[in-house]
Each structure stands twice: as C-alpha cells, then as structure tokens.
C-alpha cells in the first residue's frame, strides 16, 4: 500500500487516537512491528505527547520531535531526531542534521532492551529543533 493511501486513511479516522488509526491501517506483519515499537516508546516516554506528524506517528518532548515510527511496505523505521548524539553503532545516520534510525523488517528483530536504551537517551538528550532552525533562518 502506498504511503499516501495510508496517510489518507489515517486522516479520515473519525474519532480516537490517530496513532492507533495509523497502526491499524498497516498490513498485519508491519502492524505487529508498529505495535511493539509503540508500546516501547509509550512505556519509556510516558510524559511525551504524540500525534501523526507529516503522515507518521511522532512523540514530542517540550514541543520538540524526539522519536517517530514510519511504516513502509515491508519494514518500519524508528527515527530519533537526535540519534547521532547517542553514540549507538546500531543506529544509522539520516540526513544532514542529527537524526539516526533503526530499521525493522520483522517484530522478532526488535531487541527491547536496546530500543529502551535508545529511548532513554532520546528522553534526556532532546534536540531543540525549534531553536536550532530559528537560528539557521536568522543567518
């Protein structure tokens, strides 16, 4: 299923949690990965707020994006906005800023203790993206 079709189904969800709608819209194997990652994120970051942002579930700490889940056809990526600062070899750098991600093709690939360690770092090492990009726009 194309990402645009998934995103449009999530937007049309009449009520309830939009993250739940996003997860339910996924094919069964991808849904299992999303469910497990969502549970780990919500357990590790209980004070974080969550919403579907740019078509994917994202958790925020103090209005800064911290971690997000993006479902693809056969895998799910777990993205950390400040992941490059975690000094974790299992996270792959993404883009030109500080993001890093892990990719999971099956729920069995998820190592909960490792993901919990990343999430703990994500909750305490928050990239202040608003201030960063505000400074960049001034220069």
Buried b (16+ CB within 10 A) or exposed e, 37-73: bbebbeebbeebebebeebbbbbbbeebbbbbbbbee
Nearest-angstrom CA–CA distance, 58 and 43: 14
Whether the predicted pLDDT of 30 surpasses 50: yes
Stronger pLDDT, 119 or 16, i.e. the higher one: 119
Range list of β-strands (E), the chain: 49-53, 56-61, 64-71, 76-80, 92-93, 100-104
Give the pairing type, strands 56-61 and 76-80: unpaired
HSE-CB for 1 with a 13 A CA cutoff:
16
Domain spans, the chain: 3-126
* ∠ CA 48-67-95, rounded to 5°: 150
Stronger pLDDT, 13 or 131, i.e. the higher one: 131
Least confident of 10-24, 27-41, 74-88: 10-24
Task: Judge if pTM exceeds 0.85.
Answer: no
Q: What would the two tokens of residue 20 be?
A: 């739940």
* CATH class in words for 3-126: alpha beta
pLDDT (mean) for 34-57: 95
């Amino acid at each position: 299923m194309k990402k645009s079709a998934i995103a449009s189904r999530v937007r049309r969800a009449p009520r309830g949690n939009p993250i739940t709608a996003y997860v339910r819209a996924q094919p069964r194997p991808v849904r299992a990965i999303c469910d497990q990652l969502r549970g780990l994120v919500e357990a590790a970051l209980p004070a974080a707020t969550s919403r579907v942002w740019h078509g994917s579930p994202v958790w925020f700490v103090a209005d800064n994006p911290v971690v997000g889940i993006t479902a693809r056809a056969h895998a799910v990526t777990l993205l950390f906005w400040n992941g490059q600062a975690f000094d974790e070899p299992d996270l792959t750098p993404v883009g030109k800023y500080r993001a890093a991600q892990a990719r999971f093709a099956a729920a069995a690939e998820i190592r909960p203790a490792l993901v919990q360690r990343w999430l703990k770092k994500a909750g305490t090492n928050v990239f202040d993206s608003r201030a960063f990009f505000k400074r960049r726009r001034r220069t």
